Amino acid sequence: MKEVILCVIGISAGGVVSAAVFSFLTSIGIFNRIAGNARCGEYISLFENVLVAGGIAGGLLSIFMIPMPVKTGLGVLYGTATGIFVGCIVMALAETLNSIAVFWGRMRLKKGLKYLVYAIAFGKMTGALIYFLL
C-alpha cells in the first residue's frame, strides 16, 4: 500500500512539474515564435501534437532510463532535436529577461560587449564541462 501511495504522489508531482514547465514555455512565447519562424500556421494543430508527443516521449525516456544508442539515426535525431529545443529555450529566456542589456547598462561600459558575451559563454561551457566530467 505504501508503494502505491508513493507511486501516485510521484506521478502527481511529475504532472504538476510538467504542466508548470509547459506553461512557463508558453508564457515566454517560445512555441509561438518557433511556429512563426517555421511558417507553419496551417499546421498548428500538428505542431501542438508533436510538442506534446515529444514532451511525453522525453518524460518516458527519463523516467524509465531507457538507453539511447548514440550511433543510430534515432540517437542523432534525438540529440539534434534536444539541442535545438534547449537552444530555443535559452534564446527565449535571454530575449525575455534581457539580462545582458540590463547588466551592460548598470556597468556603464562603453566598449567590449562581444568580450562580455564571450566571457559568459566560456563560463557556461566551463561549468557544464566541470559538471559532466566530475
* Mean pLDDT across 40-53: 76
* pLDDT surpassing 80 at residue 124: yes
Residue 76 lies in a domain: no
Q: How far apart are CA 118 and CA 121, in angstroms?
A: 5
pLDDT at 109: 67
Q: How far apart are CA 106 and CA 99, in angstroms?
A: 11
Q: How far apart are CA 128 and CA 134, in angstroms?
A: 10
**Considering its fold, how many domains does the chain have in total?**
1
Please say whether the beta carbons of 59 and 17 come within 8 A.
no
In a domain, 19, yes or no: yes
Contact between 90 and 57 under an 8 Å Cβ cutoff? The reply is no
103: in domain: no
Number of Cβ atoms within 10 Å of the Cβ of 30: 19
Cβ-contact 42, 51 below 8 angstroms: no
Instruction: Round to whole Å and give the CA distance between 107 and 115.
Output: 14
Only one residue has cell 540590463, namely 102
Q: Which residue range(s) make up the domain with 60? A: 2-68
pLDDT in tens, 70-99: 777 777 887 787 787 777 777 766 666 666
Residue 81 resides in a domain: no
What confidence category does residue 110 fall into, taking pLDDT thresholds of 50, 70 and 90? low
Within a domain: 44: yes
